[in-house]
Structure 1
Amino acid sequence: MANHVKDMTIRDTDGSTVPAAALANVLRAVEGCAPVQAVCSEVGLDVALPREPDARVPYRQLADLYEAAARWTGDPWFGLHVGASVDTRSFGLLGYLALTTATLEQVFEVLARYLSLWTTSAGFQIDRSRTTIEVAWTYFDFTAPPRRHDCEMSMMAAANAGGQLRAGRWRPREVHFRHGPPDDTSEHVRLLRAPVRFGMPRNLIVCDAASGAAPVASADPVLHELLRDLAEQRLAGRATQPSILDATVAEIVKLLPTGDAQLSRVARSLGLGARTLERRLIAGGATFRSLLTAVRRDRAMHALAHSDLPISEIATRLGYGSPTELHRAFRSWVGVGPAAYRRAHRTRS
């Protein structure tokens, strides 16, 4: 089994796509401020794609479009402004599910469960305590370039998915972003209606637990149940259902940046007990520890070879408490430390 795990390759998420309709939100914001064709050409996109109902584009290309649009329009808060003005219905089934829920907490639950119908490159996770609800936005491919404007659009759109923020019916306790602050953060505070902190470990919307009961004005219980049935059918009808190994790897990838990629937490996310999950993994030829190690090893090697992320940041994103822990683990995997591995790779390339 050890050899099997050592040779295991964890699939990356670079191939993830989003509906081409997602481009329309960006292009509408560009119109009148910059040449739409030029902005699309910079990132290799066909300006006509949003009009093709079944077309999809790589998620990275959409993120690149946000960054290019911000430069062309000269709007330092471009992603934030798109998220504040976007019509939730533009997200198709996902958007209508959010709009027809009864409460704010249910909006976040919908986003967490069904976002994969829109894209699998990122996801929402919900953590609850007695006093707070924390909604985290996580990119699963951490070797990709920073996605500040896409991230701010996603967080802003999620905060207002049920219309409550825009209507003044609730406000977050605070909002966290992983990326550093822009020169002026006043627009973030104005639109998000909360203290905003940058350079934080996670992208988070932090709410008071009581605010989860904030009503959604467009709630429609009957329509929501019909839409939820449709969403469940689409989830169940995917061409390939993930095996228990694939599902476990996907959850590990989600949770690594939080430092909470533990067997009990992953099992809970999959609706299983910890012992049940471990038994099913063993039946599939692995263990939870072996999968966790494989994910960390493959992603560490990829990040060192293909990104300029500091080793301390790689350690954090892989859920290690310190760079020393990553160094010790990495040396046990490949026989050299992270810095030596990076130098050797760059010498060969």
Structure 2
Amino acid sequence: MSRCSDSYEGIRCPVSANHLPSDADPIAAQVLAFGAAHGVDAVSPDQTWELLERTGVPHPGLEFAAWTDTMAFGGLLGPVIVNSPDVRTLVEDLCRFHPMFDRDRIVVARRPTGVSVSVLSAEGGPSHPDTVDAVFALLCRTVRRLAGHQAAPSEVRFRRPTPGDAGVYDALFGRVVFAAPGDVCFFGETALSAPIVQADPVVRSMLWPYAERRATHREVSWAAAVGKLLADGGAELTDVARALAVSTRTLQSRLEAEGTSFAALADSVRRERALGMIAMPDLPVTVIAARLGFATPSAFTRAFRRWTGMSPSRYRQQPDAP
């Protein structure tokens, strides 16, 4: 994800709407697994929340945070934050190294009496209420487990209206304000200074360079990520979207923002594979057509003529054909 500012004042961790990790977001994948465990077949976190609510699961985001654990952060982030010296560093690490659900992002900013943690969509607007619940609950459970109850937030604000069982939120977060202008979790200086007693600075110093390297190089375009999955054998839009932990609609809009489409990328990958196979003179055109998923050899021939301006057999006869 994008690197945090070197200065602590107004730390920002924006993630471009047109970029995503090279691997599917681990928390988003965990949300889909959580939905599957409840009999919900979804293709994105937002859809998972909606389907879970329809099936009668109360507060799906809070339930998810109780169901998963720190390792849901994925990769090196779990071990890094567990070995942070204090809560302040833990929050900074979370901001620095982790993209959130379905390209939602976490934003940490300094306040006169501490820091605020917010969750925003990739476009900068409000995130799904259950995504906010899940992020805040997972963060609060993590800091309490690692640093004790003195690490509890001083106040948590939610945009959602006051639920009928608001006590569930009070028990988890402490002071809670509903129907607020934004979703914000505040940590005071006492909480931020709380030490993580079992932290191992040696382990942290060993893991940090690798985590930093991953953070620096993890961003790729959506088109590149889709192209890689297609080249690895993905074929259908729904399959690729599921692998990237987003909905098909979200994936299509991200690709459109980059000036391309799933169909264009799939066609390009198919073309490259076709050219590679046609270079094998002993491989029949009928076999190539079947391997590329064409219904008939004639359909493959039409596509090949569109790509190269000539038929497969004619292309093979060219002296400079690759």
Mark the CA change 1:226 to 1:166 in structure 2 (over 3 Å): closer, same or farther.
Answer: closer
Deviation of the 1:16 alpha carbon = 4.7
Q: What is the aligned partner in structure 2 of residue 13 from structure 1?
A: 17
Q: Are 1:113 and 2:96 counterparts? A: yes
Q: Select 1:23's aligned residue among 26, 29, 35.
A: 29
What CA deviation, in whole Å up to 9, does each residue of 1:185-225 have, x standing for no partner?
11011111x11112222221112212211122441211112
Mark the CA change 1:85 to 1:169 in structure 2 (over 3 Å): closer, same or farther.
Answer: farther
Q: Distance in 2 between matches of 1:127 and 1:239?
A: 23
Normalising by the residue count of structure 1, what TM-score does the alignment of the two structures yield? 0.51
Q: Distance in 2 between matches of 1:142 and 1:133?
A: 19
Deviation of the 1:26 alpha carbon = 5.4
Q: Select 1:140's aligned residue among 122, 125, 133.
A: 122
List gaps (5 residues or longer) in structure 2: 1-14, 222-256, 258-322
Q: What is the aligned partner in structure 2 of residue 214 from structure 1?
A: 194
Normalising by the residue count of structure 2, what TM-score does the alignment of the two structures yield? 0.55
Q: What is the aligned partner in structure 2 of residue 153 from structure 1?
A: 134
Q: Distance in 1 between matches of 2:218 and 2:25?
A: 16
Mark the CA change 1:12 to 1:95 in structure 2 (over 3 Å): closer, same or farther.
Answer: closer
RMSD: 3.2
What CA deviation, in whole Å up to 9, does each residue of 1:6-41 have, x standing for no partner?
xxxxx972775743664345544764xx4x2xx11x
Deviation of the 1:130 alpha carbon = 4.0
Where relative contact order (Cα < 8 A, 6+ residues apart) is larger, the structure is 2
Mark the CA change 1:13 to 1:237 in structure 2 (over 3 Å): closer, same or farther.
Answer: closer
Q: Are 1:181 and 2:162 counterparts? A: yes
SS at match of 1:161: helix
Deviation of the 1:89 alpha carbon = 1.3
Q: Distance in 2 between matches of 1:196 and 1:91?
A: 25
The one-letter amino acid of 1:13's match is A
The one-letter amino acid of 1:208's match is G
Query: Which structure is larger by alpha-carbon Rg, 1 or 2?
Result: 2
8 Å CA contact 1:181–1:199 kept in 2: the answer is: yes
8 Å CA contact 1:176–1:198 kept in 2: the answer is: yes
Matches within 5 A, 1:1-349: 13=17, 16=20, 18-19=24-25, 22-24=28-30, 27-28=33-34, 31=37, 34=38, 36=39, 39-40=40-41, 43=42, 45=43, 61-72=44-55, 74-92=56-74, 93-116=76-99, 121-141=103-123, 147-164=128-145, 167-192=148-173, 194-238=174-218
SS at match of 2:180: coil
Q: Distance in 2 between matches of 1:20 and 1:239?
A: 15
Q: Distance in 1 between matches of 2:53 and 2:71?
A: 23
Mark the CA change 1:212 to 1:190 in structure 2 (over 3 Å): closer, same or farther.
Answer: same
Aligned length: 205
What CA deviation, in whole Å up to 9, does each residue of 1:87-144 have, x standing for no partner?
101222222221110111111101111113x667222222223422222222223578
Q: Distance in 2 between matches of 1:124 and 1:197?
A: 20
8 Å CA contact 1:127–1:133 kept in 2: the answer is: yes
What CA deviation, in whole Å up to 9, does each residue of 1:198-253 have, x standing for no partner?
22222211122122111224412111122221111112224659xxxxxxxxxxxx
Mark the CA change 1:201 to 1:100 in structure 2 (over 3 Å): closer, same or farther.
Answer: same
8 Å CA contact 1:179–1:198 kept in 2: the answer is: yes
The one-letter amino acid of 1:170's match is A
What CA deviation, in whole Å up to 9, does each residue of 1:301-339 have, x standing for no partner?
x9xxxxxxxxxxxxxxxxxxxxxxxxxxxxxxxxxxxxx
